[in-house]
Amino acid sequence: MEIVEAIPQYNLTEEQEKKLILREYRSLLRALKPKLKPGDKELLRTAFEMAAEAHKTMRRKSGEPYILHPLAVARICVEEIGLGIRSTICSLLHDTVEDTDITLEDIEREFGAEIARIVDGLTKISNVIDVNASQQAENFKKILLTLTDDPRVILIKLADRLHNMRTLDSMKREKQLKVSSETVYVYAPLAHRMGLYNIKTELEDLAMKYLEPEQYREIAQKLSETKRERSRYINEFIKPLKEKLDKAGFDFEIYGRPKSIHSIWNKMRKKAVPFEEVYDLFAIRIIINSVPEKEKEDCWKVYSMITDEYMPSTERMRDWLSNPKSNGYEALHTTVMGPQGKWVEVQIRSKRMNEIAEKGLAAHWKYKEGANDESRFDKWFQQIREVLNTEDNDSVNFLQDFKTSFLAEEIFVYTPKGDVKMLPVGSTALDFAFSIHSAVGGHCIGAKVNHKLVPIGHQLRSGDQVEVITSSKQRPNEDWLNLVVTAKAKTKIKDSLKEAKREIADEGKYVVQRKLENFGATYNQHNIDILTAYYKLPSSFELFYQVAVKNIDLKELSEFHLLGDRLEPPKPAKPAVDAKQESPAAAIAKKDAELIIFGESSDKIVYTLANCCKPIPGDDVFGFVTTGKGLTIHRTNCPNAARLMANYGHRIVKTKWAKNKEISFLTGIRIVGMDDVGVVNKITNLISGELRLNINAITIEAKEGLFEGNIKIYVHDKDELGALVHRLKQLKGIHSVDRYDNENS
């Protein structure tokens, strides 16, 4: 649902703008009508007037009055997430503390502590003290700190992000890239985790529109071209099912809906197939009106009717009725062979389950209403709380760990006694051990999975039964950090390593003390600080540790001077290395909006092409300022792009190629086809003979009648590569030709 109203509003008169704002406010009130209690209308009016007054001189990038943004966010909260009056007030006020003269005290005085706390959670941290920390990651951490107290913070934040994505057209290209990357990296998975599937899907689609514009347009166009044909097919598929369900006396709805552009694109990439070969472009949804005690039974009855009519695929059956997802999602999914030999996904759920699937957390979150049963959300919040309470404060690492631990899909594994443990996909036996208890994790030497002995790094699958084997002699080591994905395991391993390091550092402390006293200086804080600064170490702890492991032997101590018993560093001290190195890169970062053009003018600025995605002229690219290396150029669809832009948006530089036919760039393609006599000859003739391109390396492997070839070639730009791919596809027997997404592909 793209909002395009913003454009004509440039030319609205003040009177028309006022009418528009009022119209939006009335729509919000209409949406809230069923939830209004006495006195609520007055509170809402106060919040609206407070926000309108505070933002009255502000405009959005599209030119429209700023107050339309909080109003739109409030409407998303009410209509699409199902939140109530208090959340609406917070939505209206969510930008006031950050952008206007209103303070949290003003909000607390007017609306009470609860609303002030939520608004505070939504207010960005404006300045981050630590230079290396990322502002985005810090802000995200702050939101999560409030999430565990009040989930409404995150739901309003998702509504805010959704509206920003819907109106991203009027932003500059680099801002679009940064916001879209952040969305795909954190906010879409978070919406998924909160059970807001519609919002997650829309966020992914909108982000793809900016990150992969060509593919987005292509799929959108093909979807609209095949719409009539799809509708015809859906009707043909549904007809016999409808008759069966009617006959059985069910009260139901049945309809087909297209899959999202983003999920179709994912399928095309993962399976390396063109659009025409993605079989499930749509899903059929059956929603039954059933009383709570008969829901499960009815869903299974419907399942049996479907599989009587169409043959199911046994591997594609998903039963979330018996074991709902931790975000509350319940449904039965099956994929069946429909008419004309096409696979079709069918989702079966009750009305209540559908409400939870659409509105997620908000649908079954009873705000402090004394629900006794600890929901799966509560358990999830408890896990987050544990991680947030640890002392490791590196926000970027925290964000990465949070993503892999709490936003991934889940697997269910069993303890030897049959208790269920939920872990993120990719978890190992070691993660499982730490999920039981940190002491069990710390002493883990192996495990038995389904009664078979496995190493601690063994990846678990849903349904595994795991028994941990421990030894009192075992201690965590540095390598363990690569064997776990859960934040709890990582944190506990780091704590244990710090403890071990602390013991070693204590030994170093005595060495430093002895050497200082031998030199005639006192062991005191001043002298320790002087030594720490001299060796350019971050802390005295690090100094003691480096001395203990013999990386520093303190022989330079003889060059120091003594003033009484105080140390003075030698003159001149070691030159400061890092101070100047960063300056060209820092200068680049400052010219945020500037276009860096490279290619023929590459002598003007030093850059390196990223190895992870090997960009070539014509690719959509951005520059990333790295510490020490200057500017690195990445493709916008690089596997690392979302992480870099989401964490370090301030280091992104808008970048563009200059036309240059002199320089060639190395890139790679993968070819799959029928193994035929002379196929290699045909390929090399085309590349070297006809197109006169330089081959850097070629490997061809044939297996069971198919061959896969990997070719590295030098091209001048994307057009030349496109022409080559097009010509190769026309060769007889060639099935697919794809460019590498990264060098490890």
Answer whether residue 371 is part of any domain.
Answer: no
With bands split at pLDDT 50, 70 and 90, how would you rate the model's confidence at 496? Answer: confident
Shared-domain flag, residues 586 and 565:
no
Last residue of a domain, one of 624, 640, 657: 657
Higher pLDDT, 361 or 282: 282
Last residue of a domain, one of 521, 543, 574: 574
Answer whether residue 744 is part of any domain.
Answer: no
Q: Please tell me which of 128-132, 321-325, 399-403 the model is most confident about, judged by mean pLDDT.
A: 321-325
With bands split at pLDDT 50, 70 and 90, how would you rate the model's confidence at 73? Answer: very high
Shared-domain flag, residues 506 and 474:
no
Shared-domain flag, residues 452 and 390:
yes
Q: N- to C-terminal Cα distance for the chain?
A: 35
Inform me whether the pLDDT recorded for 64 exceeds 50. yes
CA distances from 275 to 103, 145, 213, 270, 279 (A): 52, 42, 16, 12, 9
Answer whether residue 369 is part of any domain.
Answer: no
Which pair of tokens denotes residue 120? 């505070």
Answer whether residue 311 is part of any domain.
Answer: yes
Answer whether residue 58 is part of any domain.
Answer: yes
Instruction: Return the closest-CA partner of residue 529 out of 537, 521, 517.
Output: 537
Catalytic residue among 99, 467, 675, 741: 99
Shared-domain flag, residues 143 and 63:
yes
Q: 450-458 long-range contacts, Cβ below 8 Å, gap at least 24?
A: 454/429, 455/429, 456/428, 456/429, 456/430, 456/480, 456/483, 457/428, 457/429, 457/430, 457/483, 458/428, 458/429
Distance CA 643, CA 194 (A): 21
Answer whether residue 295 is part of any domain.
Answer: yes
Estimate to the nearest angstrom the gap between the alpha carbon of 618 and the chain centroid. 27
Shared-domain flag, residues 184 and 284:
no
Average pLDDT value for residue range 104-125: 84
Q: Which of 257-271, 404-418, 565-579 has the lowest mean pLDDT?
A: 565-579
Shared-domain flag, residues 54 and 131:
yes
Q: What is the pLDDT at residue 379?
A: 67
Let me know: does 475 contact 496? Beta carbons within 8 Å.
yes
Please, what is the average pLDDT of the chain?
80
Shared-domain flag, residues 459 and 480:
yes
Answer whether residue 136 is part of any domain.
Answer: yes
Bridge pairing between strands 343-350 and 282-288: parallel
H or E stretch at 642 = helix 641-647
What are the pLDDT digits (tens) for 643-657?
Answer: 787 777 777 777 777
CATH number of domain containing 138 = 1.10.3210.10
Answer whether residue 538 is part of any domain.
Answer: yes
Inform me whether the pLDDT recorded for 391 exceeds 60. no
Lookup result for tokens 């069971």: 704
Shared-domain flag, residues 560 and 586:
no
What are the pLDDT digits (tens) for 680-738?
Answer: 888 888 888 888 888 888 888 888 888 888 998 888 888 888 888 888 888 888 888 88
Lookup result for tokens 């509206």: 163
Q: At 253, is the secondary structure helix, strand, or coil?
A: strand
Our count of domains for the chain comes to 6
Shared-domain flag, residues 147 and 167:
yes
Let me know: does 120 contact 97? Beta carbons within 8 Å.
yes
What are the pLDDT digits (tens) for 431-451?
Answer: 999 988 888 999 998 999 998
Inform me whether the pLDDT recorded for 371 exceeds 60. no
Q: Which of 433-442, 601-610, 622-631 has the lowest mean pLDDT?
A: 601-610
What are the pLDDT digits (tens) for 186-229?
Answer: 888 888 878 788 888 999 999 999 988 888 998 899 888 888 88
Domain that holds residue 303: 220-364
Average pLDDT value for residue range 305-331: 85
Average pLDDT value for residue range 506-527: 84
CA distances from 163 to 68, 69, 183, 423 (A): 10, 7, 12, 32
CATH number of domain containing 397 = 3.10.20.30
Inform me whether the pLDDT recorded for 349 exceeds 90. yes
Let me know: does 393 contact 130? Beta carbons within 8 Å.
no
Inform me whether the pLDDT recorded for 339 exceeds 50. yes
Question: Alpha helix (H) ranges present in 419-577?
Answer: 429-436, 438-442, 487-519, 525-534, 540-548
Shared-domain flag, residues 21 and 95:
yes
Question: Alpha helix (H) ranges present in 520-621?
Answer: 525-534, 540-548, 578-581, 583-590
Average pLDDT value for residue range 171-187: 85
Distant-in-sequence, close-in-space partners of 131: CB < 8 Å, separation ≥ 6: none
CATH number of domain containing 707 = 3.30.70.260
CA distances from 14 to 49, 66, 70 (A): 17, 14, 19
Let me know: does 125 contact 137? Beta carbons within 8 Å.
no
Largest CA distance in the chain: 101
Asked if 225 is an active-site residue, the reply is no
With bands split at pLDDT 50, 70 and 90, how would you rate the model's confidence at 145? Answer: low
Last residue of a domain, one of 541, 574, 607: 574
What are the pLDDT digits (tens) for 659-675?
Answer: 666 677 888 899 988 88
Shared-domain flag, residues 205 and 231:
no
Type of residue at 391: E
Query: No. of H helices and E strands in the chain?
Result: 30, 22
In this prediction the pTM is 0.71
Asked if 98 is an active-site residue, the reply is yes
Catalytic residue among 98, 243, 479, 507: 98
Q: Which residues pair with 256 in a beta bridge?
A: 284
With bands split at pLDDT 50, 70 and 90, how would you rate the model's confidence at 620? Answer: confident
Let me know: does 397 contact 347? Beta carbons within 8 Å.
no
Shared-domain flag, residues 622 and 696:
no
Inform me whether the pLDDT recorded for 111 exceeds 80. yes
State what percent of residues in the chain have pLDDT above 90.
14
Bridge pairing between strands 630-635 and 665-674: unpaired
What are the pLDDT digits (tens) for 537-588?
Answer: 888 888 888 888 888 888 777 778 777 777 778 765 444 434 333 344 444 4
Let me know: does 125 contact 136? Beta carbons within 8 Å.
no
